[in-house]
Chain A
Amino acid sequence: MASLDDELVATDRYPPVSFEERMGTVEFRVSERPHITVDSDVCRSCTTKACVHACPAKLFVPTSDGGILFNYEQCFECGTCYMVCNEAGAITWTYPDGGDGVVFRHG
């Protein structure tokens, strides 16, 4: 579904901020330890895949075999994914180690 913004931009002629540019505005001190892991085998039986569109950082990518490819690096540490997750045990969620992860300057 085209959002209102797309229409606005179409008439304005100029492209909107891409998702990469959007995430590029945020500082991440990427840690070596993935603080969130996703068990793709569990995801295969999930019917909602709610994480895919709900994660504000768009970190959950559906794979062709029905599973999930997850990358922890640009995570807001918000908690949305485990709250909306449909299958127990799919997401193992922790905060990154002290000092690592997202740094908001204008939060």
Chain B
Amino acid sequence: MTPRDLIAVIVTRGGTLPTGADEAVAEAGGAAVVVGTGSEDAARALVSARTVTAVETEPGVPGRLAAMLRPLIEAAAVVLLPASPDGRDLAPLLAVELDRPLFAWAARCSPSEVELVRLDHRLSIRVGLDGPAVATLAPGARGAEPVQEPSSVLPRTLNAPKERPGPDEPGKTLPADPATVDLGEARRILGGGAGLVPPDESGAQMMELLGDVARALDASAGATRVVTDAGWMDYSRQIGTTGVVVDPDLYIAFGISGAAQHTGGLGAPHHVVSVNTDPSCPMTAMADLGIVADAPAVLRELARRLGVGHEKERRTVPAALLERGSTVANERFDAVVVGAGPAGSAAALELARAGRRVALLERGPFPGSKNVYGGVVYGRILDEVVPQWWREVPVQRWITRRSTMMMTPTQSVSFDVRSQAWGGPPYNGMTTYRADFDSWLAGKAEQAGAELITSTLATELLRGGDGAITGVRTDRPDGELHAPLVIACDGVNSFLAKSAGLLPEADADHHTLGVKETLSLPRETIDERFAVSGDEGLDIEMVGCTGPIAGGGFLYTNRETVSVGVVLSLTDLAASGRRPEDLIADLKAHPSIAPLLRGAELKEYSAHLIPEGGYDHMPELATEGMLVAGDAAGMCLAAGIWLEGVNFAIGSGLAAGRTAAEALERGDTSAAGLARYRKRLSESFVLADHKRLRRAPGFVLSPRVQHRYPELVCDLVQELFTVRNPKPKPRLGGLLRRTARTKASGSPTSPATRSRG
């Protein structure tokens, strides 16, 4: 054996080979040591081996095994083990025994270089070797080719050199000290914000107390930027998009308002508790348990009960603990709004502002938890909700670049607009996650006085003797909510509009399915690949990218993720036999898109329906005792080059709330009394846009737009820019006629046979 060689070490139990054994042997060029019980059988079962030493031992302590194997392997430049459980146990001990570096999870390996795979096999890292090493090989990365001639198997027995001071038992696993553990790995975190520091008191002392309480709870302490900037806690403890990104099971926020910069670093904690005097701050809105109380007081009380810190004096928690959504119903309201999406929160906000008692019902554990969209909110309508909303809205990026892309499987032509004017107030569009945005907007409604009841499903419409709607039943015990007026903002699949007979039970022709992947990429990578910087972002809408299915695609940039998805006609999808996630995969593999997403890791997969019927398929908007708004009323423009619905939802919600307040004032909540709603919408962008674009859904989903136009445009532009010297450039007019002619005479690549629009 020369020092340039590789050798594979395979641990066997009862003659069974671990996953990846042959791959490791093949990568090592056929040289292997098989060790364990049934080693000879296992050695003969290797198809890639040339020379194998079979060492029969009882499964023992890996440390002793390492010492035993030493003489057999120490001459090899690289000792390679499959990354099987036993292989991963033994590899570090071999590395210690041989005093070599360990390279875990390699795809390739040679005496001079290892190629490591990371991030779910999406990233590969080459590392040059300047000496001998130990490595583990990722199973499935290379495959194993069988060798023709039979391998030679040499059985050996080895004795552990007794005098060696190798570790005799697995080392003790020491628990990490929560006070110093990397916050990114902490399972429980107590976060401190500016609200934890009472005026005239020492911030550093409060944060020290937070640390003491955290330690008593086996948790780690973290803080917001305000706190670390003030020097009250170390920067390594700063949670947020500019600090550490954490992913705990439990997060308890003390006096943290929940700015997007902070919550953006929170990952997906299983449980969030927010202690804050402001019941409608975003942190409390996204919490499973909101404690409306003075944060320092609660922390001191906790410290006292846990017997930690320097808290000697006894204080009481000023406000009662308030568990979200546990409100006992069976109550009377002026109005019940079902659904805390943008439509519902806007409607509840208007009613509350008019001084009405309004219940805002949401089936999800927090507003936005059930909701999926592409990614851009066109926010101008928010002027009517909060002045200067952009100062507080949870934003990911402001859209300053918008592209519309026409695609064929191998070509694309983009229309790209960039406007720096969109990058400053009042802005045009912004990317944001619905969990953040919907929670924020519902918080505004709560601030105005609406009563948000989460984790509660409306299951039935209640009706009076005359048939008029008089409230809803919920899935809570005794959970009837009575009100002269119900506003159905329960989104697509609207159960309320269906039970009132306003919408058909199922209507595949007028709905599309949106499926989306949220993919993580480093912020700088997004900035570079999409040519944006700072808070700027890009949105791309695509047509011609969904193969035989009418629809479209979208790509939006968030701060550290990109949302990519497709919108698919349900009838085409049903007929196509293709799977939704495969269509996203096709889009992601398109030559225009693939380079933008290289190395991106899937963070969340999601799906949601879109009402796509447009103006002509909207339901009645008002009936006896009920108004319908947002997606429940089909107010959504999602055909290809537009993807708008949140703005229409807010617009219609506000109009519904206003109309409801007036109707309650007059004491007439009959259909006639609510007729002003439709008029109001017709005068606003909500119905005006839908009416103007009433033919858009059929048109955009037609074969012409889905296939003919993208092909025509792509071919034309391709011709225009193909340089065929010495031939001169073609005249534009002739080119246009020629391309149009070849397309009109039936392109073989046009699979669509749709009859719509």
Contacts and interface: CB of A to CB of B under 8 A. Distances in A.
Interface string B318-351: 0000000100000000000000000000000000
Contact of A107 (B372, B455, B476, B492): B372
A82 B365 CA distance: 24
A69 interface: no
A60 B738 CA distance: 48
Contacts of A27: 268
Interface in A74-107: 76-80, 82-85, 95-99, 101-107
Nearest to A5: B585
Given A3-B582, A27-B268, A84-B570, A105 B604 contact: yes
A84 B457 contact: no
A26 B608 CA distance: 14
Contacts of B268: 27, 105
B574 A23 contact: no
Contact of B585 (A3, A14, A15, A54): A3
A23 B580 CA distance: 13
Interface string A46-89: 00101001101110000000000000000011111011110000
Given A29-B365, A78-B609, A7 B589 contact: yes
A8 B589 CA distance: 7
Interface in B217-266: none
B475 interface: yes
The binding surface of chain A is classed by DSSP as loop
A53 B570 CA distance: 12
Interface in B433-458: 433-435, 454-457
Given A54-B573, A98-B455, A106 B604 contact: yes
Contacts, number: 168
B141 A14 contact: yes
Contacts of A58: 579
A97 B475 contact: yes
A102 B370 contact: yes
Q: Which among B474, B575, B604 has the highest number of chain A CB atoms within 10 Å? A: B604
Interface string A15-31: 11101011101110100
A13 B124 CA distance: 11
For chain A, the bracket of interface size reads 35 or more
Contacts of B607: 56-57, 76, 78, 80
Contacts of B589: 3-5, 7-8
Contacts of B507: 83
Residue with the highest number of chain B CB atoms closer than 10 Å, among A26, A79, A106: A106
B363 interface: yes
A5 to B, nearest CB: 3
A25 B590 CA distance: 24
B368 interface: yes
A97 B363 CA distance: 7
A61 B750 CA distance: 32
A29 B586 CA distance: 31
A17 B609 CA distance: 24
A82 B604 contact: no
B609 to A, nearest CB: 5
A79 B607 CA distance: 10
A6 B588 CA distance: 11
Interface in B543-597: 558, 561, 563, 570-571, 573-582, 585-586, 588-590, 594
Nearest to A29: B365
Interface stretch (B15-23, B97-105, B511-519, B657-665): B511-519
B140 interface: yes
B602 interface: yes
B570 A25 contact: no
A104 B369 contact: yes
B371 interface: yes
Contacts of B571: 84
Contacts of B582: 3, 5
Given A78-B607, A98-B456, A99-B325, A22 B602 contact: yes
A27 to B, nearest CB: 7
A85 B577 CA distance: 14
A26 B605 CA distance: 6
Contacts of B609: 78-80, 83
A97 B581 CA distance: 27
B603 A17 contact: no
A83 B568 CA distance: 13
Given A5-B589, A54-B573, A83 B602 contact: no
A107 B605 contact: no
B495 interface: yes
A101 to B, nearest CB: 8
B608 A78 contact: yes
Instruction: Select the residue from A4, A14, A16, A83 with max chain B CB neighbours within 10 A.
Output: A83
A107 B373 CA distance: 6
B691 interface: no
Nearest to B123: A14
A21 B121 CA distance: 13
Contacts of A57: 607
Interface string B587-627: 01110001000000011111111000000000000000000
A14 B138 CA distance: 11
Given A7-B589, A82-B506, A107-B368, A99 B455 contact: yes
B508 interface: yes
Contact of A25 (B492, B493, B602): B602
B122 A14 contact: yes
B454 A98 contact: yes
A84 B513 CA distance: 11
Contact of B506 (A78, A85, A107): A85
B117 interface: yes
B456 A107 contact: no
Contacts of B516: 107
B107 interface: yes
A4 B365 CA distance: 38
Interface string A34-46: 0000000000000
A23 B515 CA distance: 13
B438 to A, nearest CB: 9
A17 B352 CA distance: 47
B605 A83 contact: no
A14 B139 CA distance: 11
Contact of A8 (B117, B455, B594): B594
B435 A104 contact: yes
B146 interface: no
A8 B588 CA distance: 10
B309 interface: no
B474 A98 contact: yes
A16 B373 CA distance: 24
Nearest to A7: B589
Given A5-B586, A56-B580, A98-B364, 13 more contacts: A4-B590, A14-B121, A22-B581, A53-B578, A84-B508, A95-B457, A98-B455, A99-B455, A104-B604, A104-B606, A105-B369, A106-B603, A107-B371
19 contacts: A3-B589, A7-B589, A8-B594, A13-B141, A17-B602, A22-B581, A27-B268, A48-B574, A53-B579, A54-B573, A54-B579, A79-B492, A84-B508, A98-B454, A103-B369, A103-B370, A105-B435, A105-B604, A107-B608
The 5 closest A-B pairs by CB, nearest first: A99-B455, A5-B585, A14-B121, A107-B372, A56-B607
Interface of B: 107, 117, 120-122, 124, 140-142, 268, 325, 363-365, 368-373, 409, 433-435, 454-457, 474-476, 492-493, 495, 506-508, 511, 513, 515-516, 518, 558, 561, 563, 570-571, 573-582, 585-586, 588-590, 594, 602-609
